Amino acid sequence: MKIKRILFIPLLFLAVLAGAAQERDTLRILSIGNSFSVDAIEQNLHEMAADAGYVYIIGNMYIGGCSLERHANHAESGAADYSYRKIGTDGIRMVREKTPLSYALKDERWDVVSFQQSSPLSGISASYEPWLGRLVRYVKAGVPSASRFLFHQTWAYAQDALNPNYSHYGCDQKLMYRAIMDASKQAVEHYGLEVIPCGTAIQNYRATWYRDNVNRDGYHLNLTGRYIAAATWFCTLSGGDVRGNAYMPLYLTPGQVKAAQEAAFAAYTSPYAVTDFGMRSNTVNYDEARVPKFTLPAMMRCGDGSPVRNRRVWETKRRPELYALFEREMFGRAPEASEKPEAELLESAEGVLGGLADRKQVRLTFRKGRAMDLLIYTPAGAKKPVPAFLGINFHGNHSICSDEAVRMTELDAQQRRYGVYPGMDRDKPESRAARGAQASRWPLERILAAGYGVVTFYRGDIDPDFDDGFRNGVHGIFYKEGQHYPEPDEWGALAAWAWGLSRALDYLETDSCIDASRVAVLGHSRLGKAALWAGASDSRFALVISNDSGCGGAALSRRALGETVEIINRSFPHWFCGNFKKYGGNEDKLPFDQHELLALIAPRPLYVASASLDRWADPKGEFLSAVAASEAYGLYGFRGLKGARMPEPGGSLLSDRMAYHLREGKHDITEFDWLHYIAFADQFLK
C-alpha cells in the first residue's frame, strides 16, 4: 500500500503539470464578424495549427453581413442575435444560436479577439466610427488584460462581381482594395490593433498566374480563397511562416497551396501592398515540339503484370481495374442508385415546332426535394418508341430552342455572373439566358427529321458549375451525418452530371415514346467529359459522343498541351474528386491516361470529335487517345481507328465501332458535328 501511494503522488503531480501545460499551450481565438470571418477561420485554420503543433480553440460570433455599427449596438444592448460557432481543441464544432456577445466573452479566457467591418463598408473610413471604438472598449472590459486585439482586413470583390455594393468603389477591384487598405490601416493605427492582412493576401494571390479565382459568388471566398485567408490568420497568430505547412485541404492542387502560402506570408510581411513574388506568368504550351516525351500506360497489362489476351480477361479483370482507378483518382465515387426519382409530367403537347415534334416536360424529384427537369422532343406522331440523343445543356432548357412553351430555367448565381454570351437577355432581372440563345447547338429540326428524339436538362439542376463547396447540388442530399463535402475519392461535379444522365435514362426506361435501349449520350466541352464518364459508368448507353472534351475528357493528359491537369484543377476545382489534384504538373504519375477512359466504352460505338482552332482542348491529343483506345475494340474483333492518320480540318474517319472528325473552326458544337453524329447513329441505333 505504501508503495502504491508513493507511485500515485508523482503520477498525479505529472498529470496536473500536463494539464497546466496544455492550458498554457492552447491559443483561444474569438472573432466578432460575419460571413467573411466564416470564410477565413472556420475552415483550414484549426488543421494548419495542428500540423504546426499548435492547439487552437476558435470561436466566431457570427451575424451575416454584420457591420461594426450593429456589433457595437448589440454588444451594449445585450441583443442575443449571434450564432456562436466554436471549434474545440479536438476539432469538434458546436453552434449555439441566439447568443449575446457577453456570453461568448465569458465562455473562454480569450487570448486573441478580432474585429472586422462588413465588406461593403470596409473601404469607407467614416463607417468605422464611433462604432469600432465602442466595440473595442466593450470587449476589453470583458477579456483578460493580456489579450491581443486584431483587426481582420477584408478583401476586394472579384473584378466582375455582380453586387450592388460594388458601386461604392466604381465596380473596380483595385480601387476597392486600395480603399480597404487605407481604412484598415487607419483603424489599426488609431486603436493600436494588429492587422490580419487577408485583403492583401487575396490580392497577392490574384497577382499570380492563378489570377482572380478565389471567390464563389464574386465576394465570398471559394475553397482556395478560404485556404489563403486561413493561412494569413495562421501567420499573424503564430508570428511565423506558413510556407511548408503540410496541411492540404481537398480540392486544392499542390501548386495552389504553394501559391496561397506564399501570398499569405507576403501579406504578413507587407500587409498594405501587393507583393510580386515571381508567379505572374502562366505559360500554356501550344507547341508540338515542346510536348514532353512520355509513354502511355500499358492498357493491355493488368495490375499484377499479366497480359490481356482476350475479352474475358478484359471484362472480368482489366476493365474493372481501370474503372476503379478512374473512379478513385479522377472522377470520384457516385452514390448507388438505390432509389428511382419520382417523375411528374409537367406538360405535354403534340404537333409543336411547326408540326414536326411532340413535346413533353417531366420533373424528376430526388430525395430532399432536389429535382431536375427533362425536356423531351420526339418526332410527331411516331408509331413506336424512337432512338434518342440525351445531353445536358449549359444555359437552361428554354435556351435550346425558341419554343415559347418550354419552361424557363432559373439559373444559379454563378451562371448569372459568368453566363455572358450572345443572346443573353440582360433586361430580365435574373439575367437568365434568352429563349433560344443556344439553338445553334441543338438543331432540333434536323435531328427530329432524321427520326431521333432529343432529351436534355440543365446542368445546374444537378450541380451548379462553380466552386460552392458542394453545398448547392445533389452532393448534399447524400452526405452522411456530419459530412460537409465529399471525401477525396468521392464525386465531383463531372461525376454528378454523369449520375444525372443515368437518372434521366432511368426515366426513359419508363417512357413509351423513347426506346431506352437506343439512347446515345452526348456532350460538348465539360459536358463531353461528363458524357464520357456516363458512358464508361453506365453500359445502358448504346452510343457515346464526345465533342471537344479536351483535358479530362478525350485528350491525353501526358501531352500537357493547351489545358493541363494543373490548370483545369486550378480553374475548376469542383469538377474532379480530391485525389485528382495531386497530379497537377505531375501527369507522369497518373496511373492511367484518357485513352483508357475511352476504352472503357468498348465495344459500344464511340465518336470523338475535335475542332481545328480549339488548341486549348488539344485536338491531336484527342485523336491519339481515340487511336490508342482502339486496342480495346480489337478484343471484340473491331479495328476501331488503329493505324489511322489524323484527318485535315473538315475531314472525318469512320470505322466499324469508332469515328473521329476534325471540324474547321473554334470550340463549339455545330450542325456540321450533328450531321456526322446522326449518320454514325444511323448505323447502330436504327
pLDDT in tens, 185-194: 999 999 999 9
Cell reading at 563: 489545358
In this prediction, residues 451-468 reach a mean pLDDT of 93
Quote the pTM value. 0.77
Which residues, including other chains, have CB under 8 Å from residue 639's CB and lie 6 or more apart?
Answer: 630, 633, 655, 656
The answer to whether residue 426 scores a pLDDT higher than 50 is no
Our answer to whether residue 667 is catalytic in this structure is yes
Per-residue pLDDT for 419 more than 50? no
Average pLDDT over the chain reads 91
The reported pLDDT for the residue numbered 160 is: 84
How far apart (Å, rounded) are the C-alpha atoms in residues 199 and 185?
A: 12
In the prediction, which pLDDT does 282 show? 61
Q: For 364-395, how does the pLDDT look when each residue is reduced to its tens digit (9 = 90+)?
A: 999 888 999 999 999 999 999 999 999 999 99
* pLDDT value of residue 250: 75
- Strand order across the beta sheet in which 658-663 lies: 342-351, 357-365, 371-379, 453-458, 386-393, 514-524, 543-547, 606-611, 658-663, 652-654
Strand order in the sheet with 112-115: 93-99, 82-87, 55-62, 26-33, 112-115, 148-152, 194-196
Q: What is the pLDDT of residue 10?
A: 45
**What is the per-residue pLDDT for 644?**
95
Which pLDDT does position 66 carry in this prediction?
Answer: 97
- Residue 482: per-residue pLDDT: 85
- Reported as a pLDDT band with limits 50, 70 and 90, residue 279 is low
Q: Which of 525, 537, 557, 630 is catalytic?
A: 525
2 compared with 194, residue with greater pLDDT: 194
Task: Work out the number of other CB atoms within 10 angstroms of the CB of residue 679.
Answer: 14
Beta bridge partners of residue 457, listed in sequence order = 392
Beta strand 543-547 pairing with 606-611: parallel
Residues whose CB is less than 8 angstroms from the CB of residue 222 and which lie 6 or more positions away in sequence, other chains included: 213, 214, 215, 216, 466, 467, 468, 469, 573
Residue 21 has pLDDT above 80, yes or no: no
For 173, the enclosing helix (H) or strand (E) is helix 173-191
Helix axes 526-537, 493-508, angle to 10 degrees: 60
Q: What is the average per-residue pLDDT within 404-414?
A: 77
Domains of the chain from N-terminus onward: 24-269 (3.40.50.1110), 323-411+438-685 (3.40.50.1820)
Q: Do residues 435 and 406 make contact, with C-beta atoms less than 8 angstroms apart?
A: yes
Where does residue 662 rank: exposed (0-12), middle (13-18), buried (19+ CB within 10 A)?
buried
Average pLDDT over residues 615-643: 97
Is residue 348 flagged as an active site residue? no
Active-site entry in 83, 190, 238, 667: 667
Task: Assign 325 to helix, strand or coil.
Answer: helix
Mean pLDDT of 577-585: 92
pLDDT, mean of residues 544-557: 98
Which long-range contacts link 410-414 to residues 24+ away (Cβ below 8 Å)?
411/458, 411/460, 412/460, 412/464, 412/465, 412/466, 412/472, 413/217, 413/464, 413/466, 414/216, 414/217, 414/464, 414/465, 414/466, 414/468
- Note the pLDDT of residue 411: 66
Percentage of residues in the chain having pLDDT higher than 90: 82
Residue 416 pLDDT class (50, 70, 90 cuts): very low
Note whether 502 and 538 are within 8 A (CB). yes
- Residue 424 pLDDT > 70: no
Note the pLDDT tens digit of each residue in 438-448.
999 999 999 99
